[in-house]
Amino acid sequence: DGGITQSPKYLFRKEGQNVTLSCEQNLNHDAMYWYRQDPGQGLRLIYYSQIVNDFQKGDIAEGYSVSREKKESFPLTVTSAQKNPTAFYLCASSLEGSSYNSPLHFGNGTRLTVT
Amino acid sequence: KNQVEQSPQSLIILEGKNCTLQCNYTVSPFSNLRWYKQDTGRGPVSLTIMTFSENTKSNGRYTATLDADTKQSSLHITASQLSDSASYICVVSHPNQAGTALIFGKGTTLSVSS
């Protein structure tokens, strides 16, 4: 079945450590996205990528980094510079840029807890 | 400021009853409006996408309506089931800003009880 796989589902880290969240898709989609979801708030865009080897900052990119070396993969690194990293992180993909009519396909998220 | 407001924040209904969720937006210009369903601890799943020229779109027991003049949309759920318990998220899209185009509402949490 085609879809988006995020791993791990739960992640626990000590403050000051960098951590990388995995996102893989087999939908052959060009565009991939990372969102952050906090209780009582709408999803906020961290980074997005339209094509391999290219990515753009979203609304809350500070303290995060990404790479897009393969079409299928879009890992997110949460660095120690991110002041409040505990959140639910969602990866998504779409056939084309989100301003068009193609829907976003989401993974099932990674819940990161930093203590 | 581009915003998407959803109401009510939460809703409890009995199994088998109908309900309607509201979405008001101030996003301009507007490309399309989407409704997503998000089960607890899972990623959102697309229910409908409507362009400004569409007034209504259905997906099984889910029917979305759009009034682009008043910038309002609604999601009507018919004959609710326990599995409809979830958060429903309204999302509005800007044109010409690929990747940063989506404005998300905070969602309406629906609980269906037996």
The series of mean pLDDT values per 10 residues for chain B, 114 residues long, is 93 98 92 95 95 93 96 98 98 70 94 97
Distance from CA of B85 to the nearest CA of A (A): 17
SS3 B84: helix
Cβ <8 Å between A104 and B106: no
Distance CA B6, CA A41 (A): 11
Q: Is any Cβ of chain B less than 8 angstroms from the Cβ of A101?
A: yes
Smallest Cβ–Cβ distance between B51 and the set A96, A97, A101 belongs to A101
Q: What is the pLDDT of residues A6-62, one digit of tens each?
A: 999 999 999 999 999 999 999 999 999 999 999 989 999 999 999 999 999 998 999
Taking the C-alpha atoms of residue A109 and residue A6, their distance in angstroms, rounded to an integer, is 6
pLDDT at B100: 53
Q: How far is B12 from B19, CA to CA, in rounded Å?
A: 9
The strand pair at A64-66 and A54-57 is best described as unpaired
Q: Among A40, A97, A109, whose Cβ lies nearest the Cβ of B106?
A: A40
Dist CA B13 CA B29 (whole Å): 35
SS (H, E, C) A11-56: EEECCCCCEEEEEEECCCCCEEEEEEECCCCCCEEEEEEEECCEEE
For all residues of chain A together, what is the average pLDDT?
93
